[in-house]
Each structure stands twice: as structure tokens, then as C-alpha cells.
Amino acid sequence: MATYVKRAFKYRFCPTDVQAAELLRTFGCVRKVYNLALAARTQAWARQERVNYYQTSAMLTVWKKTEELAYLNEVSSVPLQQALRHLQVAFTNFFGKRAKYPRFKSRKKSRKSAEYTSSGFRFRDGKLTLAKMREPLDIVWSRPLPAGVSPSTVTVSQDPAGRWFVSMLCDDPSVQPLPATDTAVGIDVGLTHLLTLSTGEKITNPRHERRDRAALAKAQRRLAKKARGDGANRAKARRKVAKIHARIADRRRDTLHKLTTRLVRENQTLVIEDLTVRNMVKNRSLARAVSDAAWTDLRSMLEYKAQWYGREVIAVDRWFPSSKLCSACGALRERMPLNVRAWTCNCGTTHDRDVNAAKNLLAAGLAVTACGTGVRPQRSTPGGQSATKQETPRRKP
């Protein structure tokens, strides 16, 4: 049996007043069950006991029978069970040291969502009907689902801007490995230019946040002047701020999808730098620009699309001196300030800083492919002596 890529198709939809009320009620119940289960597991952990998913599922049955939590019976049980499964995954990641300890969901700050498995919805003739609802959702089909495919999981959500989304997880038979090519490209990320390729091509940084910075600042000032609380005026002002943020994020995501799809389709091997964006945003002077560039999202898209289409993404060590190394002769300069955008090597080659870095990244990535992880391309010191740096295993004491 053929194995297909699991792919989520996300659409906007316009719920009726009855559907919106039902979904908001479901979001609240999902949040309540998640917090109750997290509290129970935290208390058990303090007693040096462990509570797993099956025990919290039994607790949910008891909670539904109490007078205080009887309203949990008014919504579909599927999203409530899925909330417990999500909590189990959160604890699994915590014990595996892949995430922090799970946190309680907030009514105002946490994402409003509910997940339905196949027993909680009906998908027939292109119409999706959720449990506890009589009418199908009015979905805006911006693109069709793969032919003959039915979703295995449906996630309904509402973003801070008030927009409603439904995400359908399907097996996509259209995603197949592309024909292999012999092309490879080095990719150097930046702020003036979002990407600089080893081919010499430079892709300008759109700076999506800067385009709406004035409107965002104005909306945020109006929000700051509203009285704190659950008032309607403050909610309206908060929604205006959220809409501007959503518009910026949508444009950024669209640009990155188009760019990464083109790079993956055109190249067999893509070499990038393993940057620690988390540490870079701690610089107050660069935090806004680095966040707007979304280098982490760019890398994530490249990696999963490369996996889809049979390509390879290689991440080069972040300490590799890609900017200070001459891609022609291999000479290494001692210093290279950020304000130096072009420089001439002793061998007479004039380099554009970003293009030279992309070429060096490509060479390092190809060396990794040929010789193994940790190998860097041969280079020579400014004095002319060549030196090859290779990671060697340390001896155990």
C-alpha cells in the first residue's frame, strides 16, 4: 500500500450565529478540561505519582457527572478527548527534554481551537458538518482538496483578529519526489537582502512589518488608552491591532512559501547556516528586523518541503567563518566588521560579502556531503599556509 504525505489544508469559513456560539462553547470546554487535567497531573506529580492519558480520561467521565461541570455534556466529547491527548503529548515532550513543563491555557491569550477526529465530523460531497451541528460549515474553498481524499482530522480555530479557520489533515497523493538534479545552492540570510544565493542572486527583504508600522503604532496607542477589562471598546481596539498583525503575518507567510517552493524545485541540495535566532533577537537593535525576516520559518519550510520532494537541506555550523573566508583562494581574514559589504582579498579577488558567504556555505555543505558531518573546506591562512579543519572525536578520560 502506497504511503502518502500527511498534509493540512487550511480554509476560512463563515459560521452562523448558532455555529459560532457552539464553537465558542466548545473552545471553553476544551480549555477547561485541559486545565483540570493539567492540575490533576501536577498535583499527582507533587505526590511523586504519575497520571497518564487513560486516567485523565476516566477523570473526565467523573467530571461530567458532577453538577458543577455538567455543561461539559453539552458539547461534543471528541474535542475534549483530544485535549487530553494533546496534554499527554506535552508531557511526553517535557519528559523527553524537548519542551518546558506544560502551562495552563488562558481565556484571553491561548489559541482558541478544537480538534475533531473522524468520529466527530461528517464530510460528504464537499460539505463538512461537525458533531452537535445540523448545518455544514460555509467554507471558502480557496483550493480543492486532493481528488478522492477525505480528511482524517479536522481542527477548527479562531484567531485574535476574529477570523474563523478550519484545517483538514489529509493524505496528499500529489506530493511526490521530484526528478533528481545536479544543482546545489548556498543560501546566506540577511536583513538588507532576505536571501543571497551562491549564484549571485539577491532577494530583497520585503520588510512586511515596516509597511504597516505606522498603522500598527496608531492602533496600539488607541488600545493603550482604553480602560482595562472586558469592555466592548477595548475588545474592538484589541481586534484592530490583531488584524494588522494578521495582515503582516499573512504577507510574510505567502512570500516565504513562494520563495521556498521555488528553491526546493530548482535545486537538489540546499545549504544554509545553522543560526541561533533565539539568541539574536535578544539584541534590542536587531530584534524587530530579525523577527520580521522570519529566518526560523524559512528554514522550517525548506526542510519539510525538501523532505516532501526528495531534496536535501544541509545546515553548516554557525561558527563557520563564511564571511571572512575567500571563496577563491581560501585565505581567512582576521576581522570582518558588519559595515564592510565588499572587500578585496590578497589574491586580487573582489568579493561581495553576502555572495562570498553563500559560496563558502555551498562549499562547506558539499564537503559535508562528500566527507561526512563536521568536515569543512580546505582553506589557507593569510600567510599562505593551507589548513584543513576537521572535527575529531575526543578520547574518553
β-partners of residue 140 are 12
Grid cell 482558541 is found at: 112
Give the Cα separation of 217 and 223 in Å (integer): 10
SS3 string of 61-109? HHHHHCCCCHHHHHCCHHHHHHHHHHHHHHHHHHHCCCCCCCCCCCCCC
Give the Cα separation of 336 and 198 in Å (integer): 19
What lies within 8 Å, CB to CB, of 204 at 6+ separation is 193, 194
Q: Among 359, 276, 287, 288, which Cα is nearest to 324's?
A: 359
Give the Cα separation of 19 and 13 in Å (integer): 11
Grid cell 489544508 is found at: 9
HSE on the CB side for 214, CA within 13 Å?
Answer: 1
Q: Among 247, 279, 288, 45, which Cα is nearest to 161's?
A: 247
Give the Cα separation of 285 and 287 in Å (integer): 6
Give the CA dihedral 168, 173, 174, 175, nearest 10 degrees. 90
Distance of CA 4 to the CA centre of its chain: 22
Distance of CA 349 to the CA centre of its chain: 39
Give the Cα separation of 390 and 214 in Å (integer): 50
Give catalytic residue positions. 188, 273, 354
At position 354, the amino acid (one-letter code) is D
What crossing angle do the helices spanning 17-46 and 53-65 adopt, rounded to 10°?
Answer: 120
Give the Cα separation of 228 and 224 in Å (integer): 9
